[in-house]
Chain A
């Protein structure tokens, strides 16, 4: 069974631009969560999607958004990029409603210059 796939692996963007990251969960998993990882803040929850609906949202500005498609694939978008958005963006795939194993992808390393 294939693991969680995130694309692209690396990305360099300029301040003010917008970016879209993609996550394909493990086959059969319906929940996708997104996290931002930085050296200073660690792993911070962005949002979670389950069956195409945003179920939980972390404490990030509205520039961070996401969506989930009917095949459970998810995308997150960051608009008006800031230097501080440079981070490793990770998505985690889970099977069901909650309190189940969450498996991570390799992440997308975003650098904003």
Chain B
């Protein structure tokens, strides 16, 4: 499958700090990306998406940055809270219907 990889498998941050989760993708044809959050025992939860015609998109406390030149995606979480502790996945869609390729995931732990 596609090589969608995350740079860090685990990340620990203090409550209130900002978190940055990174993702590298390999298919330059991918034009749609989603970040998901998965808590233990639950399915992935949609956080934010971005299309390849944008390089930044903001949501509530989250920002996704896309650098197509180096095929890099990042998720920034502002003022990280204990409820943000979860595994975060990036997913890319190389314009093949709704088939997504997922990264391996980064486990975020928020320290109170």
| A interface list, Cβ under 8 A from B | 4, 6, 31, 33, 35, 42-45, 48, 50, 55-56, 58-59, 90, 92, 94, 97-107
The 4 closest A-B pairs by CB, nearest first: A104-B43, A43-B102, A99-B32, A94-B98
CB distance from B102 to the nearest CB of A (A): 4
Contact B100 A45 (CB under 8 A): yes
Contact B1 A99 (CB under 8 A): no
The total number of A-B Cβ pairs within 8 Å is: 73
B104 within 8 A of A: yes
- How many residues of B are in contact with the other chain, CB < 8 A? 26
Indicate with 1 or 0, residue by residue over B1-35, a CB within 8 angstroms of chain A CB atoms.
10000000000000000000000000000011010
Contact of B1 among A44, A50, A94, A102 (CB under 8 A): A44
Contact A105 B43 (CB under 8 A): yes
Query: What 15 additional pairs, Cβ within 8 angstroms, besides A56-B96, A101-B46?
Result: A4-B43, A33-B98, A43-B44, A43-B89, A43-B91, A44-B102, A45-B1, A45-B100, A45-B101, A50-B98, A90-B43, A98-B93, A99-B93, A102-B100, A106-B42
Contact B95 A99 (CB under 8 A): yes
Between A and B, 27 residue pairs with Cβ closer than 8 Å are A31-B98, A33-B98, A33-B99, A42-B102, A42-B104, A43-B89, A44-B102, A48-B97, A50-B97, A56-B97, A58-B1, A58-B99, A59-B1, A90-B43, A90-B44, A92-B100, A98-B95, A98-B96, A98-B97, A101-B46, A102-B34, A102-B98, A103-B46, A104-B43, A104-B46, A106-B43, A107-B43
Point out the residues of chain A lying under 8 angstroms from B96, CB to CB. 56, 98
